[in-house]
Amino acid sequence: MKPDEPRLKAAPAAEGRILGERLRELRKRRKQTLAQLADGAGLSIGYLSQIERDLAEPSINALVSIAQHLGVTVQWFFAGDEQPVPEAEQGYVIRQANRLQVAYQGGAVDELLTPRLSMALEMIRSRLPPGAEVQDAYSHDGDEVGLVLSGQLELWVGDRHFRLKAGDSFSFASSEPHRYRNPGPAETEVIWAISPPTY
């Protein structure tokens, strides 16, 4: 078992789950076997199989590794209800009900707030339940800024450690290894802006 993989996990609810299907389709389009993807992303075949069958939710690190290996950004995996959007709003407005989202192991949920996937900037709303964390630091191209809207956030950037609360903001180069967690008793909500949208 790789360090990023869950030891025990209850199967998530089946409704609204399309991450596994999107991953399987992309892997096949890239002509990759599960073994090739597992090797390239540094994950086990069994873990990837569970994700593809929507029996497990990936960690943030695992999804970043999968996306990098398959040549897409993490936002490619975001799912939404895809309700009809008035033509005048397309590319300019995202109604709350139409936000694309992805759920991770541990209960964290990211919602994409950027109306266009082709922009040089992306905004994400993260909700982290108590105890949710990214255990292993990861890095990618770009820069990040964030604002803690509610709750508490512990943030590690390189050798630095910060404990943030509602109203605090931060920024760092995404190339610096970073990780974070919610150390508090309540849900934490964070708005992130990332440029370019490599996440």
Q: Domain total for the chain?
A: 2
pLDDT at 29 over 80: yes
Residue 14 lies in a domain: no
User: What percentage of the chain carries pLDDT values higher than 90?
Assistant: 45
Instruction: With respect to residue 11, please indicate whether it lies within any of the assigned structural domains.
Output: no
Share of the chain above pLDDT 70, in %: 87
Expressed as residue numbers, the domain containing 34 is 19-77
* 80-84, 173-177, 191-195: segment of lowest average pLDDT: 80-84
Q: Is residue 12 part of a domain?
A: no
Of 77, 102, 118, which residue constitutes the final position of a domain? 77
pLDDT band at 106 (very low <50, low <70, confident <90, very high): confident
CATH of the domain at 189: 2.60.120.10
Domain-located, residue 166: yes
User: Taking all residues of the chain, what is their mean pLDDT, rounded to a whole number?
Assistant: 84
138 or 147, higher pLDDT? 147
Q: Are 64 and 122 found together in one domain?
A: no
Is 96 in the same domain as 120? yes
- Residue 2 domain-assigned? no
Residue 81: pLDDT band with limits 50, 70, 90: low
143-182 as b/e: b if 16+ CB within 10 A: ebebebeebbbbbbbeeeeeebeeeeebebebeeebbbbb
Residue 146 lies in a domain: yes
Whether residues 97 and 185 share a domain: the answer is: yes
pLDDT recorded at residue 136: 84
pTM of the model: 0.68
Are both 101 and 174 inside the same structural domain?
Answer: yes
Q: Which tens digits make up the pLDDT trace of 111-144?
A: 989 887 678 899 999 999 999 998 888 888 899 9
> How are strands ordered across the β-sheet holding 169-173?
100-103, 109-112, 122-128, 188-195, 143-150, 169-173
The answer to whether residue 6 is domain-embedded is: no
pLDDT of amino acid 117: 67
What residues contact 139, with CB distance under 8 A and at least 6 apart? 174, 175, 176, 177, 178
Compare 67 and 143 and report the one with higher pLDDT.
Answer: 143
pLDDT at 71: 85
- pLDDT confidence bin for 6, thresholds 50/70/90: very low
Write the CATH number for 31: 1.10.260.40
Average pLDDT over residues 146-160: 98
* Residue 45: inside a domain: yes
